[in-house]
């Protein structure tokens, strides 16, 4: 699955192609929950998250997801986004 995603978005060091979903956790370090979408996006950006991850989180907002109750909530939502691009 991640090979297909990597092919879709390229393969440089700042994209999702080099990350497993578990790799996203490092960008969530220091985040306090519950957290709103804007604050989560700012925290991810401050933690050096790749642009594609930021875009996926912003896309969650377009779909109506505005708050996250836990790291698992964030990761589960991102997993759903990954399935949508498949």
User: Per-residue pLDDT tens for 15-74?
Assistant: 444 445 667 889 999 999 999 999 999 999 999 999 988 999 999 998 999 999 999 999
Look at residue 86 in the predicted model and tell me its pLDDT. Answer: 59
H or E, element range at 65: none
Indicate whether this model's pTM tops 0.75: no
Burial class (CB in 10 A: 0-12, 13-18, 19+), 31: middle
Q: How far apart are CA 6 and CA 9, in angstroms?
A: 5
Q: What are the boundaries of each domain within the chain?
A: 20-85
């Amino acid at each position: 699955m991640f090979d297909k995603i990597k092919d879709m978005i390229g393969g440089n060091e700042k994209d999702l192609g080099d990350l497993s979903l578990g790799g996203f956790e490092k960008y969530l370090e220091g985040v306090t929950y519950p957290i709103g979408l804007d604050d989560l996006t700012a925290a991810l950006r401050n933690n050096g998250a790749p642009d594609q991850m930021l875009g996926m989180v912003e896309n969650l907002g377009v779909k109506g997801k505005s708050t996250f109750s836990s790291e698992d909530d964030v990761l589960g939502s991102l997993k759903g986004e990954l399935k949508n691009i498949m």
